[in-house]
Amino acid sequence: MLESFTVETFRAHLGSTFRIYVDARDSLEVELLSATELDERSSAQAGRRRPFSIVFRGPGDLLFPQRIYRIEHGQIGSFELFLVPIGPDEKGLRYEAIFT
């Protein structure tokens, strides 16, 4: 499933809510803040997508470590991503995933 994701997969859902499972029972909601191509000058090589990143914002009072998390979205479905905390903003903590 991850292989089929492009930056447009996520741009269509900017501002929407995703559910991240921090363990087998507990989850939290995060907001998709951005979906950005990493190198707009390069063209996609045959059979490969352009690299991109997505950034989520979660609650400011809970920092979860970098690792793979199960994520669910009502339209995209359920998938696993490696998320890295990248720091706070004015409304919470941000987490990034990079697709190559």
Q: Which among 34, 18, 4 has a CA at the least distance from the CA of 75? A: 18
Mean pLDDT of 80-100: 95
The stretch 1-23 carries a mean pLDDT of 93
Degrees (nearest 5) of the Cα angle 83, 84, 90?
110
Q: What pLDDT was estimated at residue 41?
A: 58
Q: Give the integer Cα–Cα distance in Å for 96 and 30.
A: 12
Share of the chain above pLDDT 70, in %: 91
As a whole number of angstroms, the distance between CA 22 and CA 45 comes to 35
Give CA–CA dist 64/60, Å, rounded: 11
